[in-house]
């Protein structure tokens, strides 16, 4: 029985090299994720540009969780004005995974432009 060893052409070598690089890259990402330290949720809240609606003013809200752990039932209170002139808006997010962001909208009856909007995280649960 005669064994014949065929030479690989350039296409086979290219596919082999690319496949090896992809596999090594994926294994590296998985090892990095396993080695990552768990950090509690850390929230960063940013407000967008006010949009005037029929009878209210809406503001887009983006909440980023820079921690690695998930937050569930995140409640945020937004307030504008002082004393009896204080107007509040609430926003709740059911689920905010670590290293991600979520968007929502809040509304006020008075125009919030030029006023300070205070943000207060009321609480969240850890699933």
List the domains of the chain with CATH numbers.
7-36 (no CATH), 43-125 (2.60.40.10)
Average confidence (pLDDT) per 10 residues, the chain, 127 residues: 73 95 96 87 96 94 95 96 91 95 96 93 92
pLDDT recorded at residue 2: 61
Classify each residue of 16-41 as buried b or exposed e, where b means 16 or more C-beta atoms within 10 Å of its C-beta: eeeeeeeeeeeeeeeeeeeeeeeeeb
- Name the CA dihedral angle for 41, 48, 91, 51, rounded to a multiple of 10 degrees: -170
> Does the model's pTM come out above 0.85?
no
pLDDT at 58: 96
Buried b (16+ CB within 10 A) or exposed e, 47-81: eeebeeeeeebbbebebebebbbbbeebebebbbb
């Amino acid at each position: 029985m005669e064994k014949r060893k065929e030479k690989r052409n350039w296409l086979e070598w290219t596919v082999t090299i690319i496949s090896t690089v992809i596999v090594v890259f994926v294994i590296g990402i998985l090892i990095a994720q396993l080695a990552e330290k768990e950090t509690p949720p850390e929230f960063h809240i940013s407000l967008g540009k006010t949009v005037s609606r029929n009878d209210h003013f809406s503001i887009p809200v983006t909440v980023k969780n820079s921690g690695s752990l998930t937050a569930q039932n995140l409640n945020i209170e937004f307030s504008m004005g002082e004393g009896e002139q204080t107007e509040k808006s609430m926003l709740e997010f059911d689920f905010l995974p670590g290293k991600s962001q979520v968007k929502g909208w809040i509304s006020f009856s008075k125009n919030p432009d030029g006023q300070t909007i205070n943000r207060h995280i009321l609480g969240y649960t850890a699933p």
